[in-house]
Each structure stands twice: as structure tokens, then as C-alpha cells.
């Protein structure tokens, strides 16, 4: 069940759902979503002549990006073909019985700006700001202003609360993140990381444990 505005307000009032700072609830709470605003920090991907980036090499990933902070009153220009990581102003806390999905706003979509490549899911138990995967699919640069409403988050109630929500037990990589975060895929178990997984089920038909499906959704 997708939460309506009435459900969202009730959850926020109860404290079972957190979206903060929610400076203008009348503007930001939509009929079935909450608008999130753009932060001022960006990670830009450098055009480079290296043959490739190895996802398991933290050094290569870090050298591939540079951080940009936009001053008050300034804009960030997203050029055609660019891909940058941004962040929301708001911090969210998703309870164990909800899952969230981050989507773009249609008005920006009509300017060819998309706000995520694949990572649109925010898992039950996640806490932190949301990293945005910003791209300009159009032919003209678009000026993005920190503080503008950039995306919307939709909350869906689970049939039962998650048994192992995102967080410490799972060694989740992006819990409590602030600002845009570059990929930490090198921490995945298949790259020699130390993410915690349950023992595989005895049923040989289930060859993928629960951690194989995803590890943190929007912020995995």
C-alpha cells in the first residue's frame, strides 16, 4: 500500500517516519509523496584517459571524482551528457515496515534532467541523506539551484516488517551518510568486503541469499 498524504502526515507526527528538515510541509507533502530539495554538494566525474575503473579499487574510484560545493546564490550547471552525484537536503529515516522509492519531478524530466540511473530504492531501516545520480539527457545545459525541489520520495507499506533491515547487522555501506557518496562497491562480499550475510538456506533451490538481491537499494 502506497502512503497517501494523510498517512505520511500521521507517520511524521508519530515519529515512525522521519524526513527532516521538512521546512514547508504544505508545499513538500504531495498527494502520495514528499518532495526533496537539492543540496549544495556535488561529486563530478572527471573525463579521464585511464583504460577503465575497477569497482573494487577504492583508490581508482576516489581519483575519478572531485567534490564541488555551490555557494549561496550560485547555481550548478548540468551540461548535456554529464553525470554527477548530488544529495538531498533532507535526511530520511525509513522504518522497518516501509520501503521508499525516489523519483524525479516531471517538470525537470521535461527539461531532460533525470535524478537516478538505477538506484531508486531506499531500503527499510535506511537512515541518511539520499544520493542523487543526476544526468542531463538533453541538448542544452540546465542550471540547478541548491534548495530547489529536485525529487520526490514515495513510501510503500510492506506486508510484514523487514526481518533484517538496512543497517549495522548487514554492515550496510551507506548508513547515516551525509552528502553525496561515491561508490563503495569494493565493500561487497564478492570483492573481498565484510558484509554480513546469513548462512545460506538448506533448500538448494534458493541459491541467492537475501543479500544477493540488493544491499541498500537507493544507497547501496
> H/E element holding 25?
helix 25-28
CA distance 84 to 201: 39
* CB distance 102 to 130 below 8 Å: yes
Catalytic annotation, pick one of 62, 90, 103, 133:
133
- Catalytic, 133? Answer yes
Task: Classify residue 117 by its DSSP letter.
Answer: S
Is 56 strand, coil or helix? coil
Q: Where are the alpha helices (DSSP H) in 37-134?
A: 58-64, 106-109
* Cα gap 51→73, rounded to integer Å: 38
Residues with catalytic roles: 133
Amino acid at each position: 500500500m502506497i502512503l497517501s498524504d494523510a498517512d505520511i502526515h500521521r507517520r511524521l507526527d508519530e515519529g515512525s517516519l522521519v524526513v527532516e528538515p521538512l521546512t514547508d510541509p504544505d508545499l513538500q507533502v504531495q498527494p502520495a509523496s514528499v518532495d526533496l530539495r537539492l543540496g549544495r554538494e556535488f561529486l563530478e566525474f572527471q573525463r579521464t584517459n585511464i583504460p577503465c575503473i575497477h569497482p573494487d579499487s577504492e583508490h581508482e574510484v576516489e581519483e575519478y571524482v572531485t567534490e564541488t560545493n555551490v555557494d549561496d546564490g550560485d547555481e550548478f550547471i548540468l551540461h548535456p551528457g554529464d553525470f554527477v552525484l548530488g544529495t538531498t537536503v533532507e535526511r530520511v529515516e525509513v522504518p522497518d515496515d516501509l520501503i521508499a522509492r525516489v523519483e524525479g519531478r516531471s517538470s525537470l524530466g521535461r527539461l531532460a534532467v533525470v535524478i537516478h540511473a538505477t538506484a531508486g530504492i531506499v531500503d527499510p531501516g535506511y537512515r541518511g541523506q539520499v544520493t542523487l545520480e543526476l544526468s542531463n539527457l538533453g541538448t542544452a545545459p540546465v542550471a540547478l539551484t541548491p534548495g530547489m525541489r529536485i525529487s520526490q520520495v514515495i513510501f510503500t507499506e510492506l506486508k510484514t516488517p523487514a526481518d533484517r533491515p538496512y543497517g549495522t547487522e548487514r554492515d550496510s555501506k551507506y548508513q547515516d551518510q551525509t552528502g553525496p557518496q561515491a561508490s563503495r562497491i569494493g565493500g561487497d562480499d564478492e570483492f573481498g568486503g565484510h558484509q554480513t550475510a546469513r548462512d545460506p538456506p538448506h533448500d538448494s533451490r534458493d541459491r541467492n541469499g537475501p543479500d544477493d538481491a540488493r544491499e541498500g537499494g537507493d544507497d547501496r
